[in-house]
Chains A and B, each alone.
Chain A
Amino acid sequence: DSGVTQTPKHLITATGQRVTLRCSPRSGDLSVYWYQQSLDQGLQFLIQYYNGEERAKGNILERFSAQQFPDLHSELNLSSLELGDSALYFCASSHRGGRADTQYFGPGTRLTVL
């Protein structure tokens, strides 16, 4: 157990819909990262937050957005869902968000878009 929690574990929805994935970082960690894992693209970095502020963006689509709340939990919002958005979405956390910091990964949320 990494100490990072993600809910829900599984999510099944239809094209065009909007979903919210939730992540709670390890106690004491200030930075949260979101990654998408799909069969064709592999593990891709989406976005990073540090202490409530966006710090870095990766390959995140405009239909996707995220935020980090004052209690440091984070939510990833996916809208206008397409079949290709079906993937495993991981959240990771690190203490200070530095590039040398170890990122601790959660168990993931498996999203299926039908």
Chain B
Amino acid sequence: AQSVSQHNHHVILSEAASLELGCNYSYGGTVNLFWYVQYPGQHLQLLLKYFSGDPLVKGIKGFEAEFIKSKFSFNLRKPSVQWSDTAEYFCAVNARSGGGADGLTFGKGTHLIIQP
């Protein structure tokens, strides 16, 4: 079975600060990796995803993430955050093939607050 760990449950930053949210997964095989965001009062939206190829993935709204296979990590980054980035961020994984469910395994989420 796979599992996902997000290190920071709450992060508070000022506008224009740089952001890095940690995500580590546990699974013996190859995986697909996702970052979802949930803005206040809204549904979960996909920020970016990684399946194969270039381990540096660019997503929407200036976010990017880097897959480091040796560290089982998929950290989310943004060089300069805005107040509108205040939201809950979820890292998720599923096994690319083999046994197991097609559903996503999510981390517990990181609540990001950006102060003006």
Contacts and interface: CB of A to CB of B under 8 A. Distances in A.
Contacts of B105: 45
A45 B90 contact: no
A52 interface: no
Interface stretch (A15-23, A67-75, A97-105): A97-105
B24 interface: no
A56 B109 CA distance: 24
A57 B108 CA distance: 20
Given A42-B107, A100-B96, A2 B102 contact: no
Contacts of A105: 36, 43-45
Given A99-B32, A105-B43, A43 B101 contact: no
A108 B88 CA distance: 15
A104 B34 CA distance: 12
B60 to A, nearest CB: 12
A58 B101 CA distance: 6
A106 interface: yes
Nearest to B41: A107
A6 to B, nearest CB: 9
Question: Which of B44, B45, B104 gathers the greatest number of chain A CB atoms within 10 Å?
Answer: B44
A89 interface: no
Interface in B25-71: 32, 36, 42-46, 49, 51
Question: Which of A4, A44, A102, A105 gathers the greatest number of chain B CB atoms within 10 Å?
Answer: A105
8 contacts: A2-B43, A2-B45, A42-B106, A43-B92, A57-B101, A99-B32, A105-B36, A108-B43
Interface of B: 32, 36, 42-46, 49, 51, 90, 92, 94-97, 101-109
